[in-house]
Chains A and B, each alone.
Chain A
Amino acid sequence: MIPLLAVDLLLMLPALLLLGVVFLLPLLRDAWLSLHASTVVTGLMAVPNGAANWWRLFDDARFRQDAFQTVRFTGVSVALELVLGLGLALLLHRPGRGRALLRALVLLPWALPTTVMALGWRWILNDPHGPLNGLLQAVGLPTFGFLTTPSTTWLAVVVADVWKTTPFVALLLLAGLQSIPVDLVEALQLEGAGRLTILRRLTLPLLAPWIALALLFRIAQSLGVFDLIQVLTGGGPAGSTESLAMYAYRQSLRFLDFGYGATVLMATFLLLLLPGVIWLLLQNRLPRRTA
C-alpha cells in the first residue's frame, strides 16, 4: 500500500515535470546567464563576470526609458481597456435582439492575429497615404505623422492595443455579469433603487473578483508586450515606443549580447512578478465569497 502523500505526488508528477521543463529550467538558465558574459567577443561562450551585467543595467538609460515606456503603455492601455470593456460588457449584458451576433462581432478584433492587425493599423496610420490621413485631408486638415512623431506615437500603439484587447476584457466581465443572479438585481429594483445605485452597490462589488482577474491578465500581458510594437513601429521613432521585451530581444539577437539580454529579461520578469504579488495580497484582503 502506497502512502497517500506519495500517491498525491505521483499524480502531480507529470504536471510538475512539464512546469519544470517549460518554466523553471529556462528561468534558472536565464538567471545563470545574467551572471555571465556571452557575446561575440567571448565567442558566444558563457564566461562568469559576477554582477557586471546587473551594474550595467542600473546605469543603462535606455533600460530605464524602456521600463518607463512599458509601464506607461501598460497603465494607460489597461485602464482604457477596463473602462471600455466594462461599458461594452454592460451593453452586451442587456437583453435584446441580435445579442449573440453582436457578441461575435465584438470578439473579432481579439480573434485576429496580432501581427495581422498591427500591419492593418500601420497602414491605417500611414503618413500620408493611410486612410486616416486621407480622412484628415478630405476635411481640409494637414496630414499627421501618427507613427513618426516621437512624443505621440506611443498613443497610437495604445489605440491599437485597446482596439484589440478591449473585447477580451469585455468578454471576461460579461461572464462575471452573467454570474450575478437576476434575483439580486430585482430585489434591489423593488426597493426603488435606480440603475446607478444597482451598478454601484450591487454589480460592481460582485464584479470585483472578475475585474481583478482581467487586470491581472492584462497587466501581465502588457508588461511583456512585443509583437504589436515590433510590427507597428519597430520600437521607433527614436526608441520612443520600445518595450522591455523588445530591448531584451535586441540585446540578445541583434547585438548577440546574450549575457546582458538575459539580465534585461530577468529584470522584466521581476517587474512582471509585481502585479502577481499585488493580486495575491489583494485577494487575501478581499472578503471570501463562497456560494
Chain B
Amino acid sequence: MSGLQLQQLSRRCGDRLVLEHLDLAVAPGECLALLGPSGCGKTTTLRLVAGLDPCSGGRILLNGEDITARPAGEREVAMVFQSYALFPHLDVGENLALGLRSRGIPRAERDRRIASVLELLQLTALVRRRPAQLSGGQRQRVALARALLRQPRIVLLDEPMSNLDARLREELRPELRRLLCGGEPPVLYVTHDQQEAMGMADRIAVLQAGRLEQVGGVRELYTDPASRFVADFLGRPAINWLPGRDGTALGLRPEHLRPRPEGGLQARPERREWWGHQQLLWLETPRGTLRMLLPEGAEAGAEGLRVGWRAADELWFDAAGQRLSAEGPWRQGLESGAV
C-alpha cells in the first residue's frame, strides 16, 4: 500500500477523547483537506501524523511502513504552520538553511537547494530580510519555501492561509496546489474554511467532535452529504432547514429555491443582500425563514411570492442527523413545495 494510511487513530487528553478511531487514506500526490469547526480534531490529526503528539491508539502507515512510534525528526515531514513558525532572529536565507544544517547537509548542496527554492518562490531579493521585515504573504512564501526544501515524504499544512486576507488567499491557492500537490508525497491540509478546502483539495474529510463525519470528493460532499452536520457545514449561504415528521428535517440549499407562479410556499421577502452577481433574499414563510439565492437579473416582488424546489434537490435527515432516502413517509406535508 502506498501513500498515507491512518488506522483507528485515537488521541486522548486526560479524560477527553480528542480523536476517536479515525480511519483515513491519502494516496501519493493526493491533497486531502481536513475540514471542520475548531476543536473537531483536525489539527490534532495533523500533529499525530507529524509525530509532535503521541497517539493514544491506532497506527500510522506510510507506504506500508508503520511510523507510529517514530520520532518527529525522523518522519521526513514537511509542515507549514499557521503562524509560519519562522525564526525571528534569522534572515530568510538563514531560516531556510537552519533545517538543512541540522540534518548535516553539506554547504554546497545546501546553497544550491536554497538558491533554487528562493528562485521558485521569487524570494531571492528578500534573502537578507528578517521575518519582521516581511509582509504576511512574503512570510507565507518563506514558510512554503522551507517546506519545499525538505524533499519530504508527507506534506502537512495547518491553516496555512488563515493569516492572509481573502484576496491574497485566492491568489495563492493555485500556487500552493502547483507547488505542493501532485508530487510523490501525500498532502494533508487542515482548514476550517470550506472554500479553501474546496479550492485546494482532491478530497475532503469532514470532522466533528473527534469523529470522521464523511470523506469524499468535493462535489460529492456538497450534493450528497451523509449527515445533517456535513450538509449544514458545507455551503454558503447556509442550507435551509424545514422540520419534517417524527423529528426528521428537510435541507434545501438556497440556490435550489425558485419563485413559482403557483404551488409551493407563500413567502414574503424580509431582507435583501445584493452580492453583485447574485442576491440573497430572506423569506418569511409559514414554515419559517428561508434563504434564497437569486441570479442578479431575477426580480421578486416586495409584496410576496411563492417559492418551490425540485424533489431531486431535497436532502432528508432523521432525528439523529443521518441521511434518509428521498422517498418516504417523512415527505408528507412538504411535498407540496416540490415542483
Contact = CB atoms under 8 A, between A and B. Distances in A.
Interface of A: 181, 183-184, 186-194, 197, 201-202, 205-206, 287, 289-291
Nearest to B89: A205
B209 to A, nearest CB: 25
Contact of B85 (A181, A193, A290, A291): A181
A189 B98 contact: no
Nearest to A286: B89
Q: Which 7 interchain pairs have the tightest Cβ spacing? A: A191-B99, A192-B73, A193-B102, A183-B85, A187-B85, A205-B89, A197-B102
Contacts of B103: 191-192
Contacts of B79: 187, 190
B89 A190 contact: no
A184 B98 CA distance: 12
Interface of B: 50-52, 72-75, 77-79, 81, 83, 85, 87-89, 98-100, 102-103, 130, 132, 146, 150
Given A201-B102, A206-B89, A290-B132, A189 B72 contact: yes
Contact of B102 (A184, A188, A291): A188
A287 B88 CA distance: 10
A95 to B, nearest CB: 12
Contacts of A193: 73, 99, 102
Nearest to B133: A290
Nearest to B75: A190
A190 B132 CA distance: 23
A190 B75 CA distance: 8
A192 B88 contact: no
Given A191-B98, A191-B102, A291 B132 contact: yes
A61 B89 CA distance: 47
B269 to A, nearest CB: 48
8 contacts: A183-B81, A190-B52, A190-B72, A191-B98, A191-B150, A193-B99, A287-B89, A291-B88
A183 B83 contact: yes
A206 B86 CA distance: 12
Contacts of B85: 181, 183-184, 186-187
Contacts of A192: 73-74, 99, 102-103
B73 A189 contact: yes
A174 to B, nearest CB: 19
A184 B85 CA distance: 5
Contacts of A202: 87
Contact of B89 (A183, A191, A197, A289): A289
A188 B99 contact: yes
A194 B102 CA distance: 8
A183 to B, nearest CB: 4
A191 B73 contact: yes
B138 to A, nearest CB: 16
Nearest to A180: B88
B73 A181 contact: no
A197 B104 CA distance: 12
A193 B81 CA distance: 17
A206 B131 CA distance: 14
B102 A181 contact: no
Contacts of B75: 190
Contacts of B146: 187
Contacts of B98: 188, 191, 201
